[in-house]
Amino acid sequence: MTNIGDLPADPIIERRALIQATARSSLARRNLVSRLMLGVCALAFVVAGAVLIWIVALLISKGFHWISKPFFTQDPQTPTVFQQNNLGGIRNAIWGSIVIDGIALLIAIPVGLIAGHLLAESENSFANAVRKTTEVMTGLPSILFGIFVYEFMIIKFHYRFSGILGSLALVMIMVPVIMKASEIAFRAVPHSLKEAGLSLGLSKGVIAARIVTPAAVPGLLTAVLLAMSRAVGETAPLIWVIGNNYVATWSPYKQQSAIPISIYNGLLGAASPLQQDYAWGSALFLVVVVLFLNLGSRFLAAFLRRERH
Amino acid sequence: MRLKDVSVSFNGRMAVRDVSFDVPDKRVTALIGPSGSGKTTLLRALNRLHDVTKGAKVEGEILLGDTNLYSREIHPTLTRTRVGMVFQRPNPFPTMSIYDNVVSGLRFSGIRKKAVLNEAAESALIAAALWDRVKDRLKMHASSLSGGEQQRLCIARALAVEPEVLLMDEPTSALDPVSTKRIEELMSELKNRVSIVIVTHNMQQAARISDLCVFLLMGDDGAGEQIEVAPTQKLFTDPVDPRTLDYIQGRFG
Nearest chain B residue to A211, by CA: B93
Contact between B79 and A201 using a beta-carbon 8 Å cutoff:
yes
To test the contact with chain A by mutation, choose from B49, B77, B162 the residue with the greatest count of A C-beta atoms within 10 A, namely: B77
From the list B81, B86, B87, which residue is nearest A201 (CB)? B81
Confidence band, pLDDT 50/70/90 cuts, at residue A112: very high
**What's the half-sphere exposure (Cβ side, CA atoms, 13 Å) at A234?**
33
To test the contact with chain A by mutation, choose from B104, B145, B154 the residue with the greatest count of A C-beta atoms within 10 A, namely: B104
Does residue B170 come out as left (phi exceeding 0), alpha (psi in the -120 to 50 range) or beta?
left
Residue A5 has pLDDT above 70, yes or no: no
Percent of chain A past pLDDT 70, that is, above it, reads 91
pLDDT at B135: 87
Rounded Cα distance between B177 and B181, Å, is 6
Determine the distance in angstroms separating the CA of A201 from the nearest CA of chain B, rounded to an integer. Answer: 4
Rounded Cα distance between A5 and B91, Å, is 61
Is residue B253, in this structure, part of any structural domain at all?
no
pTM for the model stands at: 0.74
Determine the distance in angstroms separating the CA of A296 from the nearest CA of chain B, rounded to an integer. Answer: 21
Give the Cα-Cα-Cα angle B2, B51, B37 (nearest 5 degrees).
Answer: 60
Cβ contacts below 8 Å, chain A against chain B, sum to 76
Residue B85 has pLDDT above 90, yes or no: yes
Q: How far apart are the first and last CA of chain A?
A: 72
Assign a CATH topology to domain A91-307. Answer: MetI-like fold (1.10.3720)
Residues 95-134 of A with CB under 8 A from B: 123
pLDDT at A309: 42
Helix axes A273-307, A213-233, angle to 10 degrees: 170
The answer to whether residue A185 neighbours chain B at the CB level (below 8 Å) is no
pLDDT at A26: 85
Number of domains in chain B: 1
To test the contact with chain B by mutation, choose from A199, A213, A305, A308 the residue with the greatest count of B C-beta atoms within 10 A, namely: A199
Determine the distance in angstroms separating the CA of B143 from the nearest CA of chain A, rounded to an integer. Answer: 6
Summarised one tens digit per residue, pLDDT across range B144-187 is: 898 889 999 999 999 999 899 999 999 998 888 998 998 999 99
Q: Are B116 and B106 in contact (CB under 8 A)?
A: yes
Percent of chain B past pLDDT 90, that is, above it, reads 45
Q: Are A112 and A180 in contact (CB under 8 A)?
A: no
To test the contact with chain B by mutation, choose from A121, A122, A193, A200 the residue with the greatest count of B C-beta atoms within 10 A, namely: A200
Residues 153-182 of B with CB under 8 A from A: 154, 157-158, 161, 167
Contact between A307 and B141 using a beta-carbon 8 Å cutoff:
yes
The answer to whether residue B49 neighbours chain A at the CB level (below 8 Å) is yes
Rounded Cα distance between A112 and A104, Å, is 11
Q: Which of A11-15, A78-82, A204-208, B129-133 has the lowest mean pLDDT?
A: A78-82
Mean pLDDT within B196-203: 92
Per the prediction, chain B carries an average pLDDT of: 90
Rounded Cα distance between A219 and A189, Å, is 10
Q: Are B16 and B59 in contact (CB under 8 A)?
A: no
Mean pLDDT within A97-119: 92
- Residues of chain A with C-beta less than 8 angstroms from the C-beta of B103: none
Residue A307 has pLDDT above 60, yes or no: no
Rounded Cα distance between B18 and A151, Å, is 65
Q: Which of A124-128, A262-266, B95-99 has the lowest mean pLDDT?
A: A262-266
Sequence letter at residue A14:
E
Contact between A198 and B52 using a beta-carbon 8 Å cutoff:
yes
Determine the distance in angstroms separating the CA of B96 from the nearest CA of chain A, rounded to an integer. Answer: 9
The domain of B99 spans 2-248
pLDDT at A130: 94
Confidence band, pLDDT 50/70/90 cuts, at residue A83: low
DSSP string, B177-217: HHHHHHHHHHHHHHTTTSEEEEE-S-HHHHHHH-SEEEEEE
Domain CATH number, residue B114: 3.40.50.300
Is residue B164, in this structure, part of any structural domain at all?
yes
Summarised one tens digit per residue, pLDDT across range A17-52 is: 888 888 888 888 889 999 999 999 999 999 999 999
Positive or negative, the CA dihedral A105, A111, A117, A120 is negative
Where is pLDDT greater, at A4 or A141?
A141
Is residue B168, in this structure, part of any structural domain at all?
yes
Backbone φ and ψ for B111, nearest 5 degrees, come out as: -85, 120
Confidence band, pLDDT 50/70/90 cuts, at residue B73: confident
Nearest chain B residue to A202, by CA: B77
Burial A204-224 (b: 16+ CB within 10 A, else e): eebbbebbbbebbbbbbbbbb
Residue-range domain boundaries for chain A? 91-307
Residues in chain A: 309
Summarised one tens digit per residue, pLDDT across range A231-277 is: 888 888 998 888 888 888 888 888 888 888 888 877 666 666 777 77
Residue B28 has pLDDT above 90, yes or no: yes
Q: Where is mean pLDDT largest: A88-92, A258-262, B120-124? A: B120-124
Contact between B84 and A200 using a beta-carbon 8 Å cutoff:
yes
Confidence band, pLDDT 50/70/90 cuts, at residue A308: low
Structure ipTM over 0.90, yes or no: no
The answer to whether residue B87 neighbours chain A at the CB level (below 8 Å) is yes
Rounded Cα distance between A283 and A264, Å, is 10
Mean pLDDT within A208-212: 89
Mean pLDDT within B85-114: 90
